[in-house]
Chain A
Amino acid sequence: QQPVQSPQAVILREGEDAVINCSSSKALYSVHWYRQKHGEAPVFLMILLKGGEQKGHEKISASFNEKKQQSSLYLTASQLSYSGTYFCGTESGDSWGKLQFGAGTQVVVTP
């Protein structure tokens, strides 16, 4: 079952903050966040694992509430390069490696 993302879209001015949420009805082992620009491949941003471990290489932070099966991605002091569609991919304990992606959140950062 696919995770639910919100909001569907957000428009920001450069320097503003935003939060993107991802929730699942299934018990999750991990949440992966990707950004996709138009016509390009999804680019890995961050993985949050059950137990608190996080791995990522962007200056974007995220949280994972294991009790609620929810994750949030925080876009802080947004830059023009943050524009794109953000997808969360969830991995449940009974199907490792199988990412179920949400419908995506379109982020537009304007000057």
Chain B
Amino acid sequence: EPEVTQTPSHQVTQMGQEVILRCVPISNHLYFYWYRQILGQKVEFLVSFYNNEISEKSEIFDDQFSVERPDGSNFTLKIRSTKLEDSAMYFCASSVQGQEPQHFGDGTRLSIL
């Protein structure tokens, strides 16, 4: 069964550094998402992306965050200047259309020191 793949599985970064999290959505999916989950808490929506532009974003997704689809397969989340509170598990998800099941990748655990 096709999967959403995310790399790296674990990223350790110094506070203030830039970090890029990478995702390869399922190939025939058109909608892409980033979520985060702070340890022990609920999953939080960050951003949705369709047709090479952001469809929706949450209040968490401030100017420090950006997303990009640099080629036909990758979907990236960049955090420009990381803060301690950015430490979380970041999940990428994709769906065929906007009102279809969203399939999650295994996540990237981001640890900010």
Contact = CB atoms under 8 A, between A and B. Distances in A.
Interface of A: 2, 29-30, 32, 34, 36, 40-44, 47, 49, 55, 87, 89, 91, 95-104
B85 interface: no
B91 A42 contact: yes
Task: Give chain A's interface secondary structure class.
Answer: strand
A98 B43 contact: no
Chain B interface bracket (under 10, 10 to 19, 20 to 34, 35 or more):
20 to 34
Contacts, number: 67
A97 B101 contact: no
B56 interface: yes
B48 interface: yes
Nearest to A99: B45
B86 interface: no
A99 B102 contact: yes
